[in-house]
Amino acid sequence: MPAADALAARLRALEDREAIRDLIARYGPAADSGDADGVAALFDVGGVYAVGGMGESQGRPAIAALLDGTVHRQLLADGCAHLLGPVAIDLAGDTAAARGLSLVFRWNGRNWDAVRVSANRWHLARVAAGWAVTRRDNALLDGAAAARALLAAG
């Protein structure tokens, strides 16, 4: 009969992976419903969101401001969808990294164009409330080596 504490450790690893996947799955609905504070709340207090071609935002107010900015508001008005791909999660105790794609589709009056297709590397940490994003690096997959590097293992 397995010891309950061994089971608890296995369960916690699954819970951690589930919490991280859930956190990342909340980005798209928050972005596409225009919930700037909801996006910012996925990040840790001092979290950084570095968006390919749009500089780096640090802290929840700056991240919320990015989502409340002209570019994102115009996307919402045009009709947009932020699709996240599955993430490869590497868990290391109280921190983790996750690698995966994000795509932005925009309505063109007839169908939808993929106007951004990006690589993402998420850095995450266990915090009081569960897990939070400490840094998200994003880069367009337009042939640039730097974008490919974000997706590389290790």
Give me the residues that bind a copy of itself (CB under 8 A), please. 1-5, 7-8, 10-11, 14-15, 17-18, 21-22, 24-26, 28-30, 32-35, 38, 76-81, 83-89, 99-101, 103, 105, 107, 111-115, 117-119, 140-144, 147-153
| Between 125 and 141, CB nearer to a copy of itself | 141
| Between 46 and 146, CB nearer to a copy of itself | 146
- Contact indicator for 52, 69 with CB cutoff of 8 Å: no
Q: Which helix (H) or strand (E) holds 46?
A: strand 43-50
| Between 129 and 153, CB nearer to a copy of itself | 153
Strand partners, 137: 50, 121
Measured between alpha carbons, how far is 36 from 75 in angstroms, rounded to an integer? 13
Least distance in Å: CB of 98 to a copy of itself? 9
Looking at 26-150, list the stretches that DSSP marks H as alpha helix, in order from N- to C-terminal side: 27-32, 36-40, 60-67, 70-78, 145-150
| Between 93 and 154, CB nearer to a copy of itself | 154
